[in-house]
Amino acid sequence: MKTTVLPLRAVVLLLILTLVWGTSWPLFPFAMRQISVWTFRAVTLSAGGLLVLALARLGGHPLTIPRQDRRSLIFSAIIYLSVWNICSGYSAITIPSGQTAVLGFTMPLWSALISWAILGETLPRRLILALVFGGSAVMCLMVSGLAAYAHAPAGFAAGLLGGVGWAIGTLIFKRRRINAHALVVTGWQLLIASVPISAAALVLGNHVWFVPTWQSLAVVSYLTLFPICIGNICWFSLIEIVPANVAGLSSVLIPVVAMLSGAYVHGEPLGPLQGLAMLACMMALWLALPAPAREMSTEAGEAPVSPALIPNPSLTQPADG
């Protein structure tokens, strides 16, 4: 069995990716002090989608999606990106942002569970153990935040629902491979997801005209440029260097960085229970994602890894962290 050796460029990309996505979570409450979560998501998704498509165009990639792939693109974008962005945004302003990140990044666990319950795929012992660790992480967060959840139970539920939506959208997308460059697929997904969110913003937004402060504009611009655009650029560059499941392992550290960032920026709780939750989440995600050597062994002719466990490079990351 061969082992995977990451080149220096891949290591640098992983570090940038973890920092960009992990440190973005504590900034959400700042971005939504003056605008609603609906308006915030509508602006960042549409602007990010246009920027990513512009980058794809500059790279010489055609922006068209084959007709037979458009239905899959639309459904996966709405279920994944629309649900994820609204739920994670709402959760981040009602409960500590670091805990929202931990809840959202349980996505591989939900993906495995849905594959077993609905698609009839067999769960190996490795994945069953991952579900146990994931459930333990959620329980630790529930115990440590009972007082906060009593006042904002919807925030906790929204964090979990965001991870579920991310998982379902990924499974839908994997049923049919879209024949287009990853940048083009991601750009269109962002724009498609922005349509229902923008429509909801017209109804559910604040409906108050004002000139936002430069601080709000700076935070929204940062979240659009770095987590959505630069984060995705690093992700797609990483996919070209290493197998997709090796790149997927980078998500293990993102909720940890998010919780540490939330403790530093907002003074969010960071005690023994939060530490246990982070440790359990890291173990669960490490177990749920296939080991790097397994994909290499598949290339050598050994038994392949179940497709339900291999993240699709276009959908394994939320648009903003």
pLDDT tens for 74-98 read 998 898 888 988 998 888 888 877 7
Q: What's the pTM?
A: 0.78
- 316 contacts 310 by C-beta, under 8 angstroms: no
| pLDDT value at 66 more than 50 | yes
Q: What pLDDT, on a 0 to 100 scale, did the predictor assign at position 191?
A: 94
DSSP E strands, the chain:
none
Q: What pLDDT, on a 0 to 100 scale, did the predictor assign at position 84?
A: 87
Which helix (H) or strand (E) segment holds residue 242: the answer is none
Q: What's the CA gap between 227 and 245, in Å, rounded? A: 20
Q: What's the CA gap between 148 and 138, in Å, rounded? A: 14
Q: What pLDDT, on a 0 to 100 scale, did the predictor assign at position 199?
A: 92
What is the pLDDT averaged over residues 203-210?
A: 75
Select from 99, 103, 141 the least CA-distant residue to 260.
99
Q: What pLDDT, on a 0 to 100 scale, did the predictor assign at position 192?
A: 95
Q: What pLDDT, on a 0 to 100 scale, did the predictor assign at position 61?
A: 94
pLDDT in tens, 267-316: 887 888 878 888 887 787 777 665 544 444 344 343 333 333 334 444 44
The CA-atom distances, in angstroms, between 144 and each of 67, 100, 151 are: 49, 13, 14
Q: What pLDDT, on a 0 to 100 scale, did the predictor assign at position 314?
A: 43
| pLDDT value at 57 more than 60 | yes
What is the pLDDT averaged over residues 183-188?
A: 88
What is the pLDDT averaged over residues 166-171?
A: 81
What sign does the dihedral 225-226-228-231 (CA atoms) show? positive
Q: What pLDDT, on a 0 to 100 scale, did the predictor assign at position 204?
A: 81
Q: What's the CA gap between 125 and 312, in Å, rounded? A: 22
pLDDT in tens, 149-163: 667 788 888 988 998
Select from 305, 48, 297, 16 the least CA-distant residue to 187.
48
| pLDDT value at 136 more than 90 | no
Select from 307, 185, 183 the least CA-distant residue to 237.
183
What angle separates helix 254-266 from helix 8-22, to the nearest 10 degrees?
Answer: 40
| pLDDT value at 244 more than 60 | no
Residue type, 79: I
pLDDT in tens, 107-130: 777 877 887 888 777 777 877 887
Q: What pLDDT, on a 0 to 100 scale, did the predictor assign at position 2?
A: 45
Select from 245, 246, 253 the least CA-distant residue to 308.
245
HSE on the CB side for 105, CA within 13 Å? 37
Q: What pLDDT, on a 0 to 100 scale, did the predictor assign at position 307?
A: 37
**What rounded mean pLDDT belongs to the chain?**
78
- 52 contacts 187 by C-beta, under 8 angstroms: yes
- 312 contacts 179 by C-beta, under 8 angstroms: no
| pLDDT value at 3 more than 50 | no
Q: Which residues contact 181 (CB under 8 A, 6 or more apart)?
A: 56, 59, 61
HSE on the CB side for 223, CA within 13 Å? 27
Q: What pLDDT, on a 0 to 100 scale, did the predictor assign at position 6?
A: 59
Is 221 or 6 the better-scoring residue by pLDDT? 221
Q: What's the CA gap between 258 and 102, in Å, rounded? A: 8
Least confident of 24-38, 152-166, 207-221, 225-239: 225-239
Is 212 or 232 the better-scoring residue by pLDDT? 212
